[in-house]
Structure 1
Amino acid sequence: MPIRTPLAAALATSLVLALAAPHAEAQRKRRAPAEPALTACSDFYTFVNKDWLTANTVVSGNGTVSALGTLQQRALLQQRALLDDAVLNPQNDVQKLLGDFWASGIDEAAVERDGAQPIATLLSRIEAIRRSKDIAPSIAALHQVGIPVVFNFTADLDLANLDRYIGYFSQGGLALPDPAYYTREDADTRALLGRYTEYVEKILALTGTPQEQLKDEMAQVLDLETRLARISKPLTSLRDPRENYALMPTEGLGKQFRNLQLDEFLSAQGVTDTNVSMAHADYFTQVDGLVRSLKPAQWKVYLRYQIGNAMAPYLAKDFRDAHFSFHGRVLRGETAPKVRDVQVLDAINRAAGPMLAREYVARYLPATTRSRAESIAGDVRAALVRAVAGNTWMSDAARAEAAAKLEKLSIEIGAPQRDYDFSVQPMGRTSFGSNMLIASTWHRREEMRRIGSGNAQRRWGVQPQQPVLAYDIAHNRLIVSAAALQAPVLDMEQDTPAQYGSFGALVGHELSRAVDMKGQLVDAAGSVRTWWTPTDEAAYSTRAKQLAVQYAGYDYPAANGLKVNGTLTSEGNMADLAALELASAALAGAQPELDAAGRESFFRAWAALWREQLAAETAADAARTRVQAPGQWRANGPLVNLPAFAETFKCKAGTAMVRKPEEQVSIWRQPVDAAAAK
């Protein structure tokens, strides 16, 4: 669903184009046939959203305007308002840290005066390397401040026990995103590598390399990165988490990797767990050999460059311009850098996101809103429990496992149960780069504290200040962020049916994933296993295929004759249908005597969620790649399968918003006849 990860679309200024009226005689000769009147039964999405669609247009180029994009923009404005207040009048220690961080970042003159000073201590540490045995402690020190060099070491779920985190050693140390960029011989890759060498020279110059040594030191960096790339696995082999999991004891790591001193590395990161994952031990064996065989001087150049590359976005303009010219313009195809305050807000969320989250939740999530969200979500879960119990296409064993899983499913609203230690080195307002290092060091410390803790569910993988609803399959829980609990998702000024039609439906969308094609990969006990029978999978797949055929018949709005890819969008379309089935049942349980106006309000709120305008280029790209259907069909697609919609708006058979009973797809509602249950 679109708000699982933040949307970048902003509410655009409406554009009104004045067209010259044709000559009256020509009008009479070429009079177009009158368009049929727009009704709820012809195109419910446009019927509900016609005023919004008229007022919000994207006329050319790339762009998107959407209701959920507006929500994302509001959340960003709220964060900025909070930071502005923390600058002027901090109310606690965390607000003081955030206020200083924000003030130092938006003071561009101070950032320019600071130059490269924030990384001076790190560069001095690298310059002090004399012998091979000095290299490993320097690598560990950079990891401590959040600059991963040579390899990656991260905290992630233990696949054998999803309630705990372990440390994962994996390949890394490259500034380019794909190891293949260093070794492929095609013309495009060679051209990219040429642009990269220019960038390396710029960063080396900014970190102290004399002009006459730039070519030589650039070649040293490229040589070392290429060595790492050649012993790295292809990115395609890293996609399956199971292929990157190999538990091994920490005892003995120091002897096995003497030059990397991995026992001392773990100690420096504050990790005391008895096991880590290292699925690619050969990589570390070969890197261990490089630490011994390559001259310390080459390692010093490589490490100095990695510091400059990692910290460039947070330093003076020369650093930022160099970084954007390659990483932004060349790698990501961006035409201009973000404005300064957006860059700073991104940096704060990256390094001090949990601090900002604590203050955001305290300010923007009232107790009444949280309580309302908990109540609706609980009703939707109860509706799913009833639907599973009465389900006709699941096997008895699958129904029993689904029921057990839903009984254990937790609903977490607003923010996770934190176990953060917010004690941090004080920040000032004169050095944004130094503050970034302070925050990044804190963030790294807190991430390392997760390892071996056995309390994986106390944290989320998303930030509460970002609009998110998501089902966490590893921990069998629904996550609803504080930022999501406002219009249009949960508008406390709307009536109850509308709240079920928007927030309740999105909850249903996510909860259905606990027991759908993906949810059946983890059982009620949290074990990774398939608990559906082949018959269950076939029944679900039949419905998915029927829905795919339905959506494949829809024109993709603004995409110049392209159709919706029903197969690509299948997973989301099934979840959207489940969303309305479950939210409707939940509302019926909460308000059994619901009148006609209330039923209309429920469906209108659903349609209003998916307001969206796409520019032609954006629409064409989305039609090929986006795994959700466009807004018009996210709204209309499920409704045509619901008899309750046709009954509410008195839509007759044969109208666009009514499918024949035998063509209607159902997942969790009881089918209208035997044909739909096949």
Structure 2
Amino acid sequence: MPNLRPLAIALGLGLATLVVTDASAAPKKKAASRAPAVAAQCSDFHDVTNAGWLKANPVPQTGATTALGQLAERTRVQQRELLDGAMKAPQGNVQKLLGDFWASGLDEAAVEADGSQPIAPLLTRINAIKKAKDVPASIAALHQVGIPVAFNFAPDIDLKALDRHIGYFMQGGMGLPDPAFYTRTDADTVALMARYRAYVKQILALTGTKAADLDAESQAVIALETELARNAQSLAGINNPFNNYAPISTKELNSRYRNLQLDAFLKAQGVNDDLVSLSDPALFKALDGMVTRIKPEQWKAYLRWRVGDAMAPYLSKAYRDAEFEFRGRVIRGETIAPARWEQVLDAINVAAGPMVGREYAARHLSAEDRRQAAVIADKIRETQIEAVKANSWLSAEAKTEAQAKLAAMKIEIGTPLRDLDYSVQPMGRGSFGSNMLIASTWRHREEMKRIGKGNADRRWDVLPQQPALAYDIAQNRLIVTAAALQGPIFNARSDTADKYGSYGALVAHELTRAIDAKGSLVDAKGELRSWWTPADKTAWNLLGNRVAAQFSGYEFPGVKGAKVNGELTREENLADLAGLELAWAAYNAVEPGAKPATQQGFFRAWASLWPQQLSPNEAAQRLTSDTMAPGKWRTNGPLSNLPSFGATYSCKPGQPMQRVEGDQIKVWR
């Protein structure tokens, strides 16, 4: 975009006086002057900067269109092109694996002919269950291939030693997302359960249940899941990590739960750690009893159903249609199934996402891009440390801890520092469903390797091919994915001001998380403790209250009469403001003599991140659920608190884009 005109020219064109000219009128009086018009940049910077984008992207009928959403769509096309290349002319073993995987998924005729064959070995094992003692081994075998049944088991941080992961035994094994669905009796839930029972019957029929047995077996499946649900926590409870943390020695497992054979389960997953977390002993005690009390035939029906349901998106059309009609339409609210290439790409990212990420970064992230991104991130960190030293609201002890934590922070750009083990049996092009199981087994194996001392940082919780900047609070690291290092976030060839206004501000947004209210719960050594004083917490809450009040005054675009929920969005809004303050300070340190025309690129780059168009339904949903403010106010809200913005565009205090000094909110400046 060309540089905007100086304010003097804009005002010169906008000034006007009203003069009455009438020959019979009394002698002319001096005309009353009107207040000068506000320059467009000082009135609504978001709309002015993004005028071209907004015109090119009208309000959609459903969903949302956003600049960052378009970036995410572009990265999916890039992944498709990468996999097409790997299919036609693979470069190296990993590409050969991925290319064959991709080809097998795109061959719909082969997938159709394959029918239930990919899961036949799993079904044969399940059908061979004769006694109660056979059930735990089948449960363990399904977990090994990435199909969790009866319960969930996954690595997560040890809350008393954040440098390690331990395995968490948790509730799971239910086909519905909320345990409450199994026990509520309202009309909507009853209707949902009827649809669910029909879906269970469809999958059981496809996995071998005779027509005469479908009613009984589907009822048996739902009865078993209902028993799991009755012993499960609510979603609110399970989403609190502190509720899920209850470390016990692995040696204790067998004495407590002899029927479940959890020591054998751990060995089957390749886990040899001496500690696990099991936060709900009553649930696992009930499960232990269910192993012997529930007849093997009921377990077999349940396990066959879980295999068929988990694998349905990757099998023949009968499976896929059944899964989409229930999970797609009813649970996810989708109206149209995605294109085949999108389905296969999603499947590969689920089962082999880190493999794709490795090849994606090799193709789309240059060494120079990585170097520039690292230099800016380091500069932002240096600026944040200096801002902490000069800060007026943090206590002396909090300043000391904040500086130590920022200095210790790891910055990982493009891909995780530690690579994975890509030794996996050849996939071939013969069977997409079988390839899913091969890749899923590999992915599960790599997940299990995260368990144990010194393994917590083995990989990220985002994939390199997904555009993301994130702060990992447990590992005190800033993550910048390879996919994020492209427009509108980052362009290695753009001006320095542009890079700092978009990428730099987003880095700063995430970096401040290390020392904000949530970051203050983990210290520089990675120990879980609060290092803020009561006065620090009070000061932060006062800042948050002011930001919440500011944003609560803004109209919510697309919802008539509604205002932004300032309380819901306060933490993100604080991080946006703090990020812009730091990125601007860092930019000025790098280019201290830049002229206003050059500096304007910083603010335009920030605004170019946030254009969005929301359908009415999407806007109404975001109003009550989105923790981020609408794009218009993510642009204008924080900028109006910055004197640097007003100085660059000659905006006067009290104009929409320049709050008066007494109203301006400062976090780190």
- 1:56 Cα offset (Å): 1.3
* Residue type at the aligned position of 1:94: V
Alignment deviations for residues 224-252 of structure 1 (CA, whole Å, 9 cap, x no partner): 11121122222222122111111111114
- 1:207 Cα offset (Å): 0.6
Query: What is residue 526 of structure 1 aligned with on the other side?
Result: 526
Alignment deviations for residues 497-546 of structure 1 (CA, whole Å, 9 cap, x no partner): 11111100101111111111111111111111111111111112112111
Contact 2:449 2:455 in 1 (8 A): no
* Residue type at the aligned position of 1:475: Q
Aligned to 1:170, the other structure's residue is in SS state: strand
Aligned to 1:480, the other structure's residue is in SS state: strand
Alignment deviations for residues 17-37 of structure 1 (CA, whole Å, 9 cap, x no partner): xxxxxxxxxxxxxxxxxx967
- Matched residues in 2 for 1:235 and 1:511: separation? 30
Alignment deviations for residues 57-81 of structure 1 (CA, whole Å, 9 cap, x no partner): 115x323221111111111111111
Query: What is residue 357 of structure 2 aligned with on the other side?
Result: 357
- 1:425 Cα offset (Å): 1.2
Alignment deviations for residues 348-372 of structure 1 (CA, whole Å, 9 cap, x no partner): 0010011101101111000000000
* Residue type at the aligned position of 2:668: W
Residues 246-325 of structure 1 correspond to what in structure 2 (within 5 A)? 246-325=246-325
Contact 1:559 1:617 in 2 (8 A): no
Contact 2:114 2:431 in 1 (8 A): yes
Give structure 1 regions of 4+ aligned residues with deviation exceeding 6 angstroms: none
Aligned to 1:379, the other structure's residue is in SS state: helix
Contact 2:556 2:630 in 1 (8 A): yes
In the alignment, structure 1 residue 196 sits paired with structure 2 residue 164: no
Contact 1:464 1:481 in 2 (8 A): yes
Query: What is residue 486 of structure 1 aligned with on the other side?
Result: 486
* Residue type at the aligned position of 1:46: D
Alignment deviations for residues 351-398 of structure 1 (CA, whole Å, 9 cap, x no partner): 001110110111100000000000111111111011000001111111
- Matched residues in 2 for 1:368 and 1:104: separation? 36
* Residue type at the aligned position of 1:52: W
- 1:450 Cα offset (Å): 1.2
- 1:156 Cα offset (Å): 1.0
Query: What is residue 601 of structure 2 aligned with on the other side?
Result: 601
* Residue type at the aligned position of 2:53: W
Taking structure 1 as reference, are residues 40 and 291 closer, same or farther at Cα in structure 2, changes over 3 Å only? same
Residues 340-355 of structure 1 correspond to what in structure 2 (within 5 A)? 340-355=340-355
Query: What is residue 42 of structure 2 aligned with on the other side?
Result: 41
In the alignment, structure 1 residue 642 sits paired with structure 2 residue 668: no
Gaps of 5+ in 1: 1-34, 670-678
Residues 148-159 of structure 1 correspond to what in structure 2 (within 5 A)? 148-159=148-159
Residues 61-210 of structure 1 correspond to what in structure 2 (within 5 A)? 61-210=61-210
Aligned to 1:457, the other structure's residue is in SS state: coil
- 1:634 Cα offset (Å): 0.6
Contact 1:560 1:616 in 2 (8 A): no
Aligned to 1:41, the other structure's residue is in SS state: helix
Contact 1:132 1:291 in 2 (8 A): yes
Deviates more, 1:251-260 or 1:274-283: 251-260
- 1:85 Cα offset (Å): 0.2
Contact 2:149 2:172 in 1 (8 A): yes
Aligned to 2:164, the other structure's residue is in SS state: strand
- Matched residues in 2 for 1:607 and 1:419: separation? 36
Contact 1:520 1:530 in 2 (8 A): yes
* Residue type at the aligned position of 1:293: R
- 1:453 Cα offset (Å): 3.9
Gaps of 5+ in 2: 1-35
Deviates more, 1:190-199 or 1:229-238: 229-238
* Residue type at the aligned position of 1:451: I
- 1:311 Cα offset (Å): 0.7
Query: What is residue 421 of structure 1 aligned with on the other side?
Result: 421
Query: What is residue 18 of structure 1 aligned with on the other side?
Result: none
Aligned to 2:50, the other structure's residue is in SS state: helix
Contact 2:418 2:457 in 1 (8 A): no
Aligned to 2:460, the other structure's residue is in SS state: coil
* Residue type at the aligned position of 2:500: Y
Contact 2:38 2:655 in 1 (8 A): no
- Matched residues in 2 for 1:521 and 1:609: separation? 30
Contact 1:39 1:47 in 2 (8 A): yes
In the alignment, structure 1 residue 445 sits paired with structure 2 residue 445: yes
- Matched residues in 1 for 2:566 and 2:256: separation? 52
Alignment deviations for residues 178-213 of structure 1 (CA, whole Å, 9 cap, x no partner): 122111222221111111111111111001111111
Alignment deviations for residues 411-444 of structure 1 (CA, whole Å, 9 cap, x no partner): 1111112241101111121211000000001111
Contact 1:562 1:620 in 2 (8 A): no
Deviates more, 1:333-342 or 1:629-638: 333-342
- Matched residues in 1 for 2:220 and 2:486: separation? 53
- Matched residues in 2 for 1:449 and 1:282: separation? 28
- Paired residues, what number? 635
Deviates more, 1:316-325 or 1:530-539: 530-539
* Residue type at the aligned position of 1:49: N
Contact 1:231 1:283 in 2 (8 A): yes
Alignment deviations for residues 150-180 of structure 1 (CA, whole Å, 9 cap, x no partner): 1111111111111111111111111111122
- Matched residues in 2 for 1:374 and 1:522: separation? 24
Contact 2:146 2:441 in 1 (8 A): yes
- 1:449 Cα offset (Å): 1.2
- 1:258 Cα offset (Å): 2.0
- 1:38 Cα offset (Å): 5.5
Residues 375-394 of structure 1 correspond to what in structure 2 (within 5 A)? 375-394=375-394
- 1:221 Cα offset (Å): 1.0
Aligned to 2:412, the other structure's residue is in SS state: strand
- Matched residues in 1 for 2:315 and 2:121: separation? 14
* Residue type at the aligned position of 1:416: P
Superposition RMSD in Å:
1.4
Contact 2:420 2:458 in 1 (8 A): no
- Matched residues in 2 for 1:165 and 1:632: separation? 40
Contact 1:512 1:575 in 2 (8 A): yes
- Matched residues in 2 for 1:654 and 1:440: separation? 58
Identity of aligned residues (%): 57
- Matched residues in 1 for 2:256 and 2:271: separation? 18
Deviates more, 1:168-177 or 1:84-93: 168-177
- Matched residues in 2 for 1:455 and 1:116: separation? 37
- 1:653 Cα offset (Å): 2.8
Aligned to 2:41, the other structure's residue is in SS state: coil
Q: Tell me the TM-score normalized by structure 1.
A: 0.92
Residues 402-421 of structure 1 correspond to what in structure 2 (within 5 A)? 402-421=402-421
* Residue type at the aligned position of 2:48: F
Contact 2:450 2:458 in 1 (8 A): no
Aligned to 2:613, the other structure's residue is in SS state: strand
Query: What is residue 477 of structure 2 aligned with on the other side?
Result: 477
* Residue type at the aligned position of 1:89: A
Query: What is residue 582 of structure 2 aligned with on the other side?
Result: 582
- 1:654 Cα offset (Å): 3.2
- Matched residues in 1 for 2:275 and 2:518: separation? 29
In the alignment, structure 1 residue 233 sits paired with structure 2 residue 222: no
- 1:276 Cα offset (Å): 0.9
Query: What is residue 245 of structure 1 aligned with on the other side?
Result: 245
* Residue type at the aligned position of 2:50: N
- Matched residues in 2 for 1:286 and 1:652: separation? 68
- Matched residues in 1 for 2:611 and 2:231: separation? 48
* Residue type at the aligned position of 1:44: F
- Matched residues in 2 for 1:258 and 1:68: separation? 51
